[in-house]
A and B are shown apart, each in its own frame.
Chain A
Amino acid sequence: MMMQLINPILVLLVLSGFMLLGSSRLATCIRSVAFQGVLLGLLAISMQSGQLTISGVLLPITTAVVKGFLLPWLLSRAMREADTVREVEPLISYNLSIISGAVVLALALWLGERLQLPSQLPSSLLVPAALFTSLVGMIVIVSRRKALTQVVGYLALENGVYAFGAAAALRLPVLVELGILLDVFVGVFVMGIAIFHISREFDHIDTDKLVALTDRPR
C-alpha cells in the first residue's frame, strides 16, 4: 500500500527543487526546503516493507520535524534578524537557473541509469530524484549571493544525500541516523549565528562582497 506513495513523493521532491531554483522570494526558498524535509520523512516511512517498527516510524518523523519545521524556523528567524531585502538576488537569471535545473535533471536521470543498485528498488526514480536534489543544492550554493540562500542550498544538498540514503534502504544504526541529524541541526544553527553577525558587521549578507581576504603578492 505504502509503496504506491513513493512515485508521487519523488515527483514532488523534483518539483520542490525547481521551486527552489525559480522563486525570487527568500521565504519561498525556505518553504521549499521545508517541504523537502517533510517529503523525506514520508519517503523513509513508505520505503519500509512489511511490519512497521517503532524505530522505523519514529526516526522518519524526527527527520521530518527537524528538517521540515525546526531548521526552516531557524532560517526564517535568521532572515528576520538580518532584516535583509527578502529577494534572492541571484548571480544568474532565474531562467538560467531553471534551465540549469533541467540540465541537471537530465544528468541525474542518466546517472541513475548507469548506477545500478545491487538490490531491487521499488521505483526507478529514486536515485535520480536524490541526485537531482543534491545537485540543485550545489547550483543554489554557487549561484546565489546571500549567505542565507547558501545555507538553503546546503540544506537541499543534505536533503538529497539523505534521500539517497533512504532510497538505497541503507539500514544504518539508529545512533548514526540521529548523529547525522544532530550535526546538520547544529551546523545550520551555527550558520544562522554567523549570518546574524555578518548582517550586524556589514549591514548586508551578500557573500560576493566578502572579498577582504586574498593573497597580496609583492
Chain B
Amino acid sequence: MITLLVLIPACAGIVTFFVASDRLRRGLLIFAALTQTALSLETWIVWPTPVLCGWLAEDALGRLIETLTSVLFLAVSFYAVAYLREERSQPHSDIEEGFIFSNAREASFTGCLLLFLAAMTLVAVSQQVALLWIAVEATTLASAPLIYFHRHHRSLEATWKYLLICSVGIALALLGVFFLAVAATSPDGSTIALMMQDLRLNAHHLNVPWFKAAFVLLLVGYGTKMGLAPFHTWLPDAHSEAPSVASALLSGALLNCAFLGILRAQEICVAAGLADFSDRLLLAFGLLSMAVAAVFISGQTDYKRMLAYSSVEHMGILAVGVGLGGAAVFGAVLHIINHSLTKAMLFLVAGNLLALYRTKNTDGVAGVLSVAPASGVLWLLGLFAITGSPPFGPFLSEFTILKAALDQGQILIAVAYLAILAVILAAMAAPALAMAQGTPAEPVAPARPRSMALSVAPAMLGIGVLVMGIYMPPVLSRALREAARLLG
C-alpha cells in the first residue's frame, strides 16, 4: 500500500515522458492524482503496514503531510490540465520584455510533475533518516525542470539559483545525517539504527555534542530548502518565475516536506531531552524569517514575489510555533495545513490574473472583481485568509500559537510576532484591494472563453480553508494532537 503511494506517481511520471497524445497524457495525470489521493485517504481508515523492514511507514505526522500533498496535487492537476490546454505550444512573446520564447515539451513538464509528487510522497513516508535525505534531494531535481517551463533567461536564472543553493544546503544536511550517525555510535562500537523509532527510543544514549552539531546542520540544510531566512534567497525568484501550477506545489507542498526533515530532527531532540537547545534555534530562525518577509512584502510591486515572501513568513510562523512548544506545536501542525491550502489557492488565482492582465506588477492590475468575478472574489478571500483574518483556517492556527506564547509568559516573542503580522497585513491588504477594485486602465478581454477548472480548482481549496476555520473533524484533531505530542 505505501509502496503504491510512491510507485503510482513514479511510474505514471516515467510513462508520461513517452506519451505523444496530449489527451492521453493529461488523462494519465488526473488518473494518477485521483488514485493516489484515494489511497492516501484510505490510510485514514486502516493504518498501512510498514514495508522494507520499516523504512517506509506512516505515522501521524507523515500521514498528515502525505495526505495534504496528495489533495493539493489533485486540485493542482485539474488546474494544470486546463492551463496546459490554454498555454500555446508555439513560440510566443514574453509579457515583461516582449521577446519571443517557447515552452518546454509538455510531456517533460507533466512527467516531472508526477515524479515530483513521487519524491514528496517518499519524503513523507520515510522513517529512515538517510532515506529521507535522498528523497528531499530528489524533490529538488524533479522540480527544477518545472521552474524552467517557460524557456527564457529569467526562469533559467531562477532555476540555476534554486538548483545550486538548494543542493549546497542539502549537502550540509547530509553532513548532518552523518553527524547523527556518529552520535548514534557508542564508544564500544554498538550503534543505533538510523530509524525514527529506534532513535526516539534510544535518544538518551546519543552522544550530545555530536547530536547538537547534527541538529544545527540539519536545520541549516533543510531550512535552506524550506526557505527560512537568511537562506531563503532562491525562494522568491523560483516561486515568481515558475508557472503558477509549479509555484502552487513548491509553496504548498514542497516547503512542508523540507519542514518535515527539521521536524524529524526535533522529534529526536524532544526524546533526548534537548528541546531547550533546539527550541531556541527554531525561535530565532522563525522570528528572523518573519521579520525579513515583512521587510520585503512592504512595497513589493510584483504580486507573485509578494506571495513568495509570504511563504517565507509562514515558514517562520511554523518554526516559531514548534520552537515555543506545548500548545503552540498543535497550532503549528494545524498551520501547515492552513498555509498549504491558502497559498496553493492564491498561486493558482495569481496564474489566472497573469493570464488576464499579462503583468506581474500590482499597479498593472485593477478591477479584477468586475473583469473576472470568480478570480476576484477568490483573490480577496485568499488574501484575507493568508493575513490571518477570521473566520478562515490560518486565523485559528496563528491565534493558537499567539495564545500559547502568552500563556507561557513569552511576552516579548508574542509582541514581536503580533507586530510582524500586523505589518504584513497592512502591506498586503492595500495592493490586494487596489487590484480587486476600480476599473482596468485598458480594457481586458480574454482571447477565448476560459476553462471552468481554472476557477473551480482554487475555489475547492478556498472552501477547504474556510471549513478549516469553522469546523475541525474529530478525526483530524485527534491526528493533529498525536502528531504534536512527539514534537514536545
Interface residues of A (CB under 8 A from B): 115, 117-119, 134, 138, 141, 147, 150-151, 154, 157-158, 161, 164-165, 168, 170-173, 175-176, 179-180, 182-183, 186-187, 190-191, 194, 197-198, 201-202, 207, 210, 212-213, 215-218
Contacts and interface: CB of A to CB of B under 8 A. Distances in A.
A190 B137 contact: no
Contact of A215 (B131, B209, B300): B300
A218 B301 contact: yes
Contacts of B134: 176, 179-180, 182-183
Contact of B164 (A115, A119, A141): A141
B186 A118 contact: yes
A210 B157 contact: yes
A164 B178 contact: yes
A187 B157 contact: no
Most buried by B among A134, A171, A191: A191
Given A164-B175, A217-B299, A217-B300, 4 more contacts: A151-B164, A176-B134, A191-B163, A207-B160
Interface centre among B167, B237, B299 (most CB of A within 10 A): B167
A116 B346 CA distance: 50
A168 B189 CA distance: 12
B171 A157 contact: yes
Contact of A187 (B154, B167, B213): B167
15 contacts: A115-B210, A118-B207, A157-B171, A161-B171, A172-B181, A176-B130, A179-B130, A186-B138, A186-B141, A191-B163, A194-B156, A197-B151, A213-B240, A217-B300, A218-B299
Interface centre among A115, A157, A172, A194 (most CB of B within 10 A): A194
A147 B141 contact: no
B255 to A, nearest CB: 19
B153 interface: yes
B131 A179 contact: yes
B302 interface: yes
B393 to A, nearest CB: 29
A183 B138 contact: yes
A179 B298 CA distance: 43
B236 A187 contact: no
B369 to A, nearest CB: 23
B148 A172 contact: no
Interface in B145-204: 145, 148, 151-154, 156-161, 163-164, 167-168, 171, 174-175, 178, 181-182, 185-187, 189, 191, 194
A154 B305 CA distance: 28
B168 A119 contact: no
Given A213-B157, A217-B300, A118 B174 contact: no
Contacts of B296: 215
A191 B165 CA distance: 12
